[in-house]
Structure 1
Amino acid sequence: MLFIPYSIFYIPFDRLKVVIKIMSDRNPPPSSRQLLILLGIFLILIIFIIQLISFLVDWGITYIPISWEQQLGSMIVPIYEEKAQDSPQQQVLNQLLDRLESQIDNESLAKRNYRVIYIPENTVNAFAIPGDVIGVFQGLVEKINSENELMMILSHELGHFFHRDHLRGLGKTLMIRVAIATLLGDKTFLSNSMATITETISKTHYSRSQEYQADEYGLTLLNKTYGHVAGATDFFENFEEKETLNWVFFSSHPTSKKRVKRLNQLIKQRQYKIGAYSQLDSDLLQLD
């Protein structure tokens, strides 16, 4: 065995403290101010990326052919169709949608093939799906008191199609999530992309201006269909006090009070009439 004297490794304690201090001075820990600066830079980068994505999506959506959107829908719609059923309710909803379509000008309707799928779940919501499909939940139908009220909701969703809000919302949400996942090195997002898409569609949050535009489109179409706008504000008025509940519809839309006020202003400005209500079809009331 080779013997090495202990004294070779002995360093006086005072000298050891000096060595440690010199080493720590060369790599001092970051100060609170430095950490705040780095955090601020990171947040600014995130905000810039989000704004850039929003701009690019808004610019690019207008150039996407409807045929491309329908191809995207062919991959997404079957997922919702598995939850739906060919029922009397779905047939009635499509008949109502056909009446609305007959009032849309040919240019806007060109290459479109709108239809409704009825999903027997208690969720209170309706939403636009790429591929010219409107999803309507049973929970929403249960809350409707008249045909006019339901037609306003369907017209509103057609307004999202007209302005292509459903693609803007989906595109922005997915692109932002991809960007954040890339920055954080999260690989699970891409592996579960289809599940993420379907979740995003049914919970898409539109901007206030997008919702107001869809409301205005719906109001115009409602007036063309009936010659009056009875029921235009009923849904929002009836459930204004219930916005504190966990309803998907209200979590992704502006407050009912503001929407009712704006719709009433439009009705007054355009001098729309308030006519008689139409009752809901009896088949639609045969809830499961």
Structure 2
Amino acid sequence: MQFVPRQPDRNVNITPTSAIREFLVLAGGLMAIVLVLYLLLGFAVELLIPRLSPRFEQVLASSLLSKTMSGKIDAEKSQKLQSLLDRLQEHCARLPYHCTVKVIDSPRVNALAAPGGTIIVFSSLLDELSSENELTFVLGHEMGHFFHRDHLRGLGRGLVFAAISTALFGPHNQASRLAARFLNLTELRFSRQQETAADHFALDVLHCTYGHVGGALIFFKKLASMHHSRYAGVSFFSSHPLFPERMQDLQDYCRQQGFHNGRVTPLPEGW
């Protein structure tokens, strides 16, 4: 029997499957891995946040606050606000750590809760307040985020990465600095439930301090008016969303708790 060579039915150097199909399979597998990691990190956030000690939180804050507090600190106004904040913490707001407040010269109308127990108030927000009651509500609201640790949950999965890198390599390593670039405190977003809980905390502080909640709704109506008129500097509602039901919820909570309005205390001259 004579052997007759012949060409193979297909090129053995070329895979029989489609290149597009292989790409889709690999891309799908990669997306699945990323999704699993994302979900695991989300679970890690909820597991890690309640267990972060205030001391460790302050270590993390050192790499984040320098970026947020890049403006000029108004020492005089910061001291005045600190006196009020100390009074609130001593009598009406028990928190796991002592909070401090810094006033930053800025055209932004905003305030935020930063890791480590620091409340940052931008000077333009103070310019819009006319009473100590409004200021107390603002500070109380940010303390509410501290109480529920929303400020850490808002940083999310980036915070987990920063915490792990800080624990392994220290606060000043390249990984920690990289994580800090993606942790923009001024762009924090809070959910409706978190905002509601912080509002309730602020109302409790306001009522504990003055015996009434006068000033709370004035503050919201004032900023809402500025927001609707597209005032360029208002960023309070970008990080503290104004849900349509939010002011109604404030009124409902006051009614449930038996809180009532009262005469507000004007801010001293020089504010």
Q: TM-score range by the shorter chain?
A: 0.7 to 0.9
For 1:1-288, what aligned pairs fall within 5 Å after superposition? 26-27=15-16, 29-31=18-20, 42-77=30-65, 83-104=71-92, 108-109=94-95, 112-175=97-160, 190=175, 192-193=177-178, 195-196=180-181, 199-241=183-225, 242=227, 247-284=234-271
Distance in 2 between residues matched to 1:51 and 1:279, nearest whole Å? 49
Q: Which amino acid aligns with 1:260?
A: M
State the structure with more CA Rg. 1
Note if contact 1:88-1:283 (Cα within 8 Å) is conserved in structure 2. Answer: no
Can you list the C-alpha shifts for 1:244-282, whole angstroms capped at 9, x where unaligned? 666432122232432211111101111101000111121
Note if contact 1:149-1:235 (Cα within 8 Å) is conserved in structure 2. Answer: yes
Distance in 2 between residues matched to 1:45 and 1:208, nearest whole Å? 30
Task: Name the count of aligned residue pairs.
Answer: 254
Distance in 2 between residues matched to 1:23 and 1:229, nearest whole Å? 81
Q: Unpaired segments of 5 or more residues in structure 1?
A: 1-17, 179-188
- Aligned-pair identity in percent equals 33
Distance in 2 between residues matched to 1:256 and 1:207, nearest whole Å? 10
Distance in 2 between residues matched to 1:212 and 1:40, nearest whole Å? 39
Q: Report the more deviating stretch, 58-67 or 48-57.
A: 48-57
- TM-score normalised by L of structure 1: 0.74
Q: Which amino acid aligns with 1:278?
A: T
Distance in 1 between residues matched to 2:213 and 2:198, nearest whole Å? 15
How big is the shift at 1:165? Answer: 1.4
Distance in 1 between residues matched to 2:196 and 2:24, nearest whole Å? 39
Note if contact 2:150-2:190 (Cα within 8 Å) is conserved in structure 1. Answer: yes
Q: Unpaired segments of 5 or more residues in structure 2?
A: 1-6, 164-173
Cα RMSD of the aligned pairs, angstroms, is 3.3
- What SS does the corresponding residue of 1:233 show, helix, strand or coil? helix
Distance in 2 between residues matched to 1:255 and 1:35, nearest whole Å? 44
Q: Which amino acid aligns with 1:261?
A: Q
How big is the shift at 1:239? Answer: 2.6
- TM-score normalised by L of structure 2: 0.78
